[in-house]
Structure 1
């Protein structure tokens, strides 16, 4: 039960990140990703953030879909894979963008993953 709650939290967080990346102000985006606001205001960067945002949102939707549409071992396998993917993305993001990503996005995913194995 706690694992499912954490999984849903990870999904909601992914959708929240999508909203920030696609619709957030330049100031919010710059702060969240530890970037200069002038850089975030560049049209190409805005496009890249929106592109990244759609992936986050769709992944959040996939996690919610897994919780709602699958059961038993199929659900468990999918949720484990999805949490692993979120964790890997968080590790990459913390190495290439902002270090806090590993805590903000990776920690809930790793906790959910551990609970899904026990």
Structure 2
């Protein structure tokens, strides 16, 4: 089951890179649909700056997850992945409560399932 969990972990890393591209490079209309935000808000320069700032964090997290799959092995890899999935669970809970409920399904649920599988 650990191999499957590590594959899921890699997919979660790719998901965070995808979120980064939406936050940093997508147009306001695409962002509005993806993040359940008003288009008028997303057309503001400060909103775009804030979203890009958040995007760089998601990108860094995605790269960290994916690179960790290649940099670590054994018990160290499992520990790192458990910590990263736990971190995503915390952030996903906050985001789901404050931004959009979609985060519960798209980020919190996969991280939680993977977190559990990493202990089997």
Does TM-score exceed 0.5, indicating one fold? yes
- TM normalised by structure 1 equals 0.98
Match of 2:62 among 57, 60, 63: 60
Partner deviation per Cα, 1:30-69 (whole Å, 9 max, x = no partner):
1111111010110000000000000000000000111000
Alignment gaps of 5+ in structure 2: none
The root-mean-square deviation of aligned C-alpha atoms, in Å, is: 0.6
Q: Is the 8 A contact 1:6 1:111 kept in 2?
A: no
Q: Is 1:41 paired with 2:37?
A: no
- Of 24, 31, 34, the match for 1:32: 34
Aligned to 1:82: 84
Task: Please give the secondary structure, in 2, of the residue aligned with 1:19.
Answer: helix
Distance across 1 between alignment mates of 2:96 and 2:30: 18
**Runs of 4 or more off by more than 4 Å in structure 1?**
none
Q: Does 1:16 align with 2:15?
A: no
> Which residues of structure 1 form unaligned runs of 5+?
none
Deviation at residue 28 of structure 1 after TM alignment: 1.0
